[in-house]
């Protein structure tokens, strides 16, 4: 389950500009339907607006609670080397923080695969 969460960030925080059917399928492999729809449409909007992602998100999972087919996860991720960049120039527009509190919920589908359903950034320190 934690592996799915890490894969979620690796796949969705992707600095390439390829956002075709292959990428959509990869996103949907680790993400629930509603969140996958939001991520894929937002990524295309960003590209159309001249923005791409750069860097990598480093997950530092601090707690996991599993109840049946549902899980809650807390992460104190490091986004200090990641952010948004100008598509044309590649120059960073912003940069993340070193200690970013994240709450995520995951569920196990009928196929037995864990998927991220929700990601929240409540603020505060971690």
One pLDDT digit (tens) per residue for the chain, 126 residues: 999 999 999 999 986 777 888 999 999 999 999 999 999 999 999 999 999 999 999 999 999 999 999 999 999 999 999 999 999 999 999 999 999 999 999 999 999 999 999 999 999 889
57 contacts 79 by C-beta, under 8 angstroms: yes
Spell out the domain ranges in the chain.
2-120
CATH of domain 2-120: 3.10.450.50
pLDDT at residue 21, rounded to an integer: 87
List all residues 6 or more positions away from 29 whose beta carbon is below 8 Å from its beta carbon: 7, 11, 113, 115
pLDDT at residue 100, rounded to an integer: 95
pLDDT at residue 92, rounded to an integer: 97
């Amino acid at each position: 389950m934690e592996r799915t969460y890490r894969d979620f960030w690796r796949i969705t925080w992707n600095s390439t500009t390829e956002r075709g059917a292959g990428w959509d399928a990869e996103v949907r492999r680790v993400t629930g339907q509603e969140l996958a729809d939001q991520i894929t449409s937002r990524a295309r909007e960003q590209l159309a607006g001249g923005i791409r992602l750069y860097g990598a998100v480093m997950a530092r999972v601090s707690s996991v609670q599993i109840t049946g087919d549902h899980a809650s996860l807390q992460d104190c991720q490091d986004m200090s080397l990641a952010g948004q960049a100008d598509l044309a120039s590649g120059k960073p527009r912003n940069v993340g923080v070193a200690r970013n509190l994240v709450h995520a919920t995951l569920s196990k589908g009928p196929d037995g695969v864990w998927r991220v359903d929700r990601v929240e950034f409540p603020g505060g320190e971690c």
